Structure 1
Amino acid sequence: MEIPLWALACGVLVLVAVRAVVWLSSMPPVGQPAAAVRALPGAPVRHAGWSSQAVPPDSDGVYDAVVVGGGPAGLAVGAALAQAGLSYVVVEKEEAAGTSWQRHYHRLCLHSLKGVSHLPYVPFPDHWPQFVPREDFARYLAAYPLLLNLNVRTGTAVVAIADRPDGRPGYAVRVRGDGGDGPVDELIARHVVVATGDNASPRIPHFPGASSFGGTLIHSSEYVSGEAFRGARALVVGFGNSGSEICLDLYERGAALVATVIRSPLNVLSRNRTMYLEPLLGLVRALFFNAPQALDALAPPARPFLFTSLASRGVTAPHPDVGLFENLRRRHKAPVVDIGQFALVASGDIAVHRAIDAITPTGAIVDGGTELQLDVIILATGYNRALDTLLPQHVLDDVYDEHGGIAVSGKPVPGHERLYFCGFDDFLGRLFQIRLEALAIAASIQAQCSQV
């Protein structure tokens, strides 16, 4: 029997409504009152409902939680723990929280709208741009722990996380002060939240002849602005979000040649088109959080509007073997956000190559034999995590999934119910998901502590 189209449509609407109810009922309390405290113009302000007071560790010096990392995820978790009335300390190896954002390249802006990108309890100022610039976000992160009076221990490196020496549930977090050069100390906690992020150290692949190059060879983490390379011939290896934006910056700053190497499959999302639909897209992603393949199956009708066609931009790149949402959810590979760089690819202003074979004293050999004369080579080849040195292997076996990503972010690690990870999932947008995960982690730790 043929099912009428209207019946199918009603069935889909009912399914979406049911998933929405389930998702909304499972959301942690946001804990953000509508009213905000007024402060100096341009400065971030905390919500009027903020009411935490510093809670010291117990008489044995044991914290309810130690948070490893003082970037956006670590600060968000610290704020949520403070609001929950738990004792905690955020440990950050830099001399100030959020320092890494001060070192990012100058052109960088957040790719998500400011309304879904702030940390708990402190919204961005109303007059800030919808896509917050790096400089403002770095200023926001510096102000955040001061506004909320968070317990952040800076200049302290975590060297290992081990079981408590007394055999009780929890962890001993071994740290070194003086930026990692001081003597070893131990922080004892009932719970640990790892919020170190994905960018612990630059990933620098080996290219034959790299040491012979007579120009500038740097990783993208060292790139500041294309102004330093005005008139230069530049090759950017890697065309993810950082690599492609660096190409755009080099072009805008007057580089004589901008070329790139696209070595991996790409999914490309148009920011100018999706920004108006971001709240709706966020809800849809949340509804299909555990079913990204289904969301990919629904995406083709919207693809011409939401996605940038690589073929239309003249890009010959490997085609992803899975859809954008499954690639993001299961394989932890974020799409490249098109902010204008692909139009430059289409016009030929950014030259695309498929492989880099070797580096020569005067440039690089690409695509199996073509030699480029270059002044600068920028390796936008990603980063390594620092987890392998922090946790024992038997714990890491339960932390990583089959694709090398963090299997569970925002919840207790299966088999290690007092260990959490925050800020390792991009599916709902990295910063928005950090906010939700931080609140969920604090609620989970509070529930465990109340049972003791």
Structure 2
Amino acid sequence: MAKVDSTSAVNFIGIPSSVLIIGAGPAGLATAACLASKSIPFVILEREDCTASLWKKMTYDRLHLHLPKKYCELPLLQFPESYPKYPSRDQFIAYLDNYAKHFRISPMCNTTVVSAEFAAPLGLWVVTAEHGVGKVSCKFTAKTLVVATGENGEAVVPSFLGREDFAGKVIHGKEYRNGKKYRDEKVLVVGTGNTGMEIALDLANFGAQPTIVARSPIMLRQFHVMPRELFGVNISTFDVSMKLLKVFPLWFVDKCIVYSSWLTLGDTAKYDLIRPEEGPLAMKARTGQTPVLDVGTVAKIRNGDIKVMPGIDRLTENGAKFVNGMEQAFDVIIMATGYASTVSKWLKAGDGNMFGGDGFPKNPFPNGWKGENGIYAVGFGRKGLLGCAHDARRVAEDIAKDFT
């Protein structure tokens, strides 16, 4: 590989059978490991200065994997036996670092992809990127391109009427670490997914006064809230769902899980957490929306430590006015509003119309991993780490068929 200098663009010409992976998060690492196991050469481009940057730089301290560890392992390497059922953030990061070391994965960091396009006359993918602090322009060519930037490419921050009037601090959930500095402060958490619900719980545990709000008047109605463990014992809701699906149809499993959740959490509708009519597994399959796996937030809502409000009408100088006409003061607003894919910004042509305008493959999981002209996608199936592992295996197996 040619050396990058600071004065001119450099062409990186790969051997015809090389594989270029974009992204060094869990999806990229899983793909690289599967390729390495088949002795297929690859290069990984990573825009940040480390692997798994989302986990290392943009997650809160109390985070644990929401699913049992057996569903979160990457291919070919298990979690240490000493890890608990739900590994912590730091334990998962250590696992990923060891994973990269074990398979000798060394990404080219600080390299941001600007464009990727299939050059038909060459029969190769041409990727333009900016490298290093000086943003040196460089080009890469490869027969095979693996898009592993994942679902969480950039933070989504919705615009609210009156945003410029609010005198307090507004941050995205990626900036939140813990609630220590928010003690006694009134904090509005926007977003009722797993991140928003758990940040609210963390704030309450640190003595803050959190309020959860939906991004629209109906957002709360679009989420199923389910216990991570059924009946308050060590029985994973997800694990039960997977086992039941092997025997019963999805609609029946949905009814069983919703009923079990009701027995565990009670009637959440009285706290404005209204269940959709569509079952959680059916909704996940149709929309990709993950049910909220409760780890204590509902109990805090029940006892009044966390308040729930309907959608925001507008922000004010001191806080927010809600769609029900109520107005409250807040010191801080945390936008737990998720992330979006960035693929549509830099993937120019040649994928055979594989990706849609939202930066996701048009074919739903498990069929969205392969496009035309040697392009693949890993980690876009809205199936979490389990989906990354599935895609990585399929991609490596397919590439190996044509590897020469």
Larger radius of gyration: 1
Task: Indicate conservation of the 8 Å contact 2:268/2:274, yes or no.
Answer: no
The size of the alignment, in residue pairs, is 383
Q: Provide Cα deviations, 1:348-369, integer angstroms capped at 9, x if missing partner.
A: 2211111111111111111342
Match of 1:154 among 109, 115, 125: 109
Aligned to 1:229: 182
Contact 1:207–1:358, Cα closer than 8 Å, also in 2:
yes
Q: Aligned-pair distance for 1:401?
A: 9.0
- Mapped to 2, the partners of 1:186 and 1:364 lie a distance apart of 48
Q: Residue 269 of structure 1 aligns with which residue?
A: 226
Distance, in Å, in 2 between the alignment partners of 1:287 and 1:364 is 48
Q: Which runs of 5+ in 2 are unaligned?
A: 1-11
Deviation at 1:436, TM superposition (A): 2.2
Counterpart residue identity of residue 286, structure 2: R
- Indicate if the aligned counterparts of 2:64 and 2:86 stay in contact, CA closer than 8 A: yes
Q: CA deviation at 1:155?
A: 1.5
**1:80 and 2:34 matched:** yes
Secondary structure of 1:398's match? coil
Counterpart residue type for residue 241 of structure 2? L
The higher-RCO structure (CA 8 Å, 6+ apart) is: 2
Q: How many Å apart are 1:287 and its aligned residue?
A: 8.2
State percent identity of aligned pairs.
28
Q: Is the 8 A contact 1:410 1:420 kept in 2?
A: no
Q: Does 1:130 align with 2:85?
A: yes
Aligned partners of 1:192 and 1:420 also within 8 Å: yes
State yes or no: 1:327 paired with 2:283: yes
Mapping of residues 348-367 of structure 1, within 5 Å:
348-367=304-323
Q: Does 1:259 align with 2:245?
A: no
Q: Distance in 2 between matches of 1:261 and 1:63?
A: 51
Please report the TM-score for the alignment, with normalisation by the length of structure 2. 0.86
Question: Does the Cα contact within 8 Å between 1:175 and 1:186 map onto a contact in 2?
Answer: yes
1:116 shift after superposition: 2.3
Q: 1:405: how far off?
A: 6.3
User: How far is 1:305 from its partner?
Assistant: 1.5
Over 3 Å counting, the alpha-carbon distance change for 1:329 and 1:393 in structure 2 is: farther
> C-alpha distance in 2, partners of 1:172/1:266?
41
Query: Residue 401 and residue 361 in structure 1: after superposition, are their counterparts in 2 closer, same or farther (change >3 A)?
Result: closer
Segments of 5+ residues of structure 1 without an aligned counterpart are: 1-57, 289-293
2:4 alignment counterpart: none
Q: Return the alpha-carbon distance in structure 2 between the equivalents of residues 68 and 397 of structure 1.
A: 19
Per-residue CA deviation, residues 39-64 of structure 1 (Å, 9 max, x unaligned), is xxxxxxxxxxxxxxxxxxx9963343
Is the 1:409–1:420 Cα contact (8 Å) retained in structure 2? no
In structure 2, what residue type is equivalent to 1:267?
Answer: H
Q: Separation in 1 of the partners of 2:305 and 2:259?
A: 24
Change (3 A) 1:163 1:126: same
Q: Quick check: 1:296–1:324 contact (8 Å CA) kept in 2?
A: no
Q: Give the counterpart letter for 2:321 in structure 1.
A: I
Q: CA RMSD in A?
A: 2.8
Q: 1:282 aligns with which of 237, 242, 248?
A: 242
Structure 1 position 242 matched with structure 2 position 242: no
Given that residues 213 and 362 in structure 1 are in contact (C-alpha distance below 8 angstroms), is that contact kept between their aligned partners in structure 2?
Answer: yes
Q: 2:142 aligns with which of 167, 189, 211?
A: 189
> 1:248 & 1:233 partners in 2: Cα distance?
13
2-structure distance, mates of 1:72, 1:89: 15
